[in-house]
Amino acid sequence: MEEIFRYVGTNYPTILKLTIEHLYLVSISVGVAILTGVPIGIIITKDQKLADAILYIASVIITIPSVAMFGLMIPLLSLVNRGIGFWPAAIAIFLYSQLPIIRNTYTAIHNIDPALREAAKGMGMSDWQRLAKVEIPLAVPVIMAGVRMAVVMNIAVATIAVYIGAGGLGTIINEGITGTNSTKLIVGAVAVSLLAIIADYLFLFIQKMLTPKGLSGEIS
């Protein structure tokens, strides 16, 4: 126990740097995944066949083990000279994020009461207005739940990214394993877990903040 504190005490600048690296990797990847996943989720509500196909592909992607995924990225990205480092890791995490974000967006928009859609249309809203004023505000809580899931899941996945040279908190764990140093192993594991838990609560909070007042439990 003492050793652990000593390790953290002397190495905190490194731990902090790795944590930031880790977060940077996850937030950029998931951030871009939101920008693509949400529109894809909305577009596929218009076409059942397309929706089935896209959701199927996204489900297949998420079943690929992360080590295999990172492995796949290396030859692919070597073609553009980015075989290891930030890019293959970011792209893998981006792909993993698609399923929770697309599926939640699709489900949320798809499940909106058809009466609301009819009322909106009948009152003279254009498709865009309906999306902006009614459908997206109502879908936001569910979309955010998908984002939260993607973030938490990928904080874990990003740990593996150390094997393709993307850094992050996986570095400490890797050193712990290769050097049979249980202190490092524990510090790395706890740090990743804490990060995931904090992110989970943070996104839960954001999700609540973004839920329209008329839907949440707390109205006067």
Partner 1 sequence: MIRLENLTKHFEVPGKEPIIAANNVSMAVGKGEICIFLGPSGCGKTTALKMINKLIPKTSGKIYIDGKDTDTMDPIALRREIGYVIQQIGLFPNMTIEANICVVPDLLKMDKKQSRKKARELLEMVNLEPNIFLKRYPRELSGGQQQRIGVIRALAADPPVMLMDEPFGAIDPINREVIQDEFLKMNAELGKTVLFVSHDIDEAVKMGDKIAIFREGVLEQCDTPDEILANPANNFVKEFVGADRALKRLKLIRVNEAILPFRMAVRPDDPLDSVAEKMRSREAHIAVMVGPRGRARGFITKEEIKGDQSGIVSEYIDPLPGTIHENDNLHDAVSQMYSHATDWMPVVDDDGAYKGYITQHIVASLLGEVPRKPGEKIT
- Applying CB under 8 A, the residues found at the interface with partner 1 are 113, 115-116, 118-126, 129, 133-134, 137-138, 212-215, 219
Interatomic CA distance for residues 129 and 120, integer angstroms = 9
> Which of the 8 DSSP states describes residue 131?
I
* Closer to partner 1 by Cβ: residue 28 or 134: 134
CB of 219 to partner 1, least distance (A): 6
Q: Would you say 116 or 198 has its CB closer to partner 1?
A: 116
Structure tokens at 136: 């997206």
User: Using an 8 Å Cβ cutoff, are 55 and 82 in contact?
Assistant: no
3-state helix, strand, coil in the chain (%, to 5): 85, 0, 15
Give least dist CB 134 to partner 1, A. Answer: 5
Shortest approach of partner 1 to residue 133 CB, angstroms? Answer: 7
Give the nearest distance from C-beta 43 to partner 1 in angstroms.
21
Query: Shortest gap between Cβ of 129 and partner 1 (angstroms)?
Result: 7
Give the span between the Cα atoms of 124 and 32, in whole angstroms: 33
- Shorter beta-carbon distance to partner 1: residue 136 or 189: 136
For partner 1, the closer CB: 72 or 112:
112
**DSSP-assigned letter for residue 132:** I
Length of the chain: 220
Give the nearer residue to partner 1 in terms of CB position, either 63 or 220: 220
Select from 212, 58, 57, 42 the least CA-distant residue to 127: 42
Least separation in angstroms between residue 115's CB and partner 1 is: 3
CB nearer partner 1, residue 80 or residue 123: 123
Nearest to 23 by CA among 160, 210, 192, 209: 192
Q: Which residues are CB-neighbours of 63 under 8 A, at least 6 positions away?
A: none
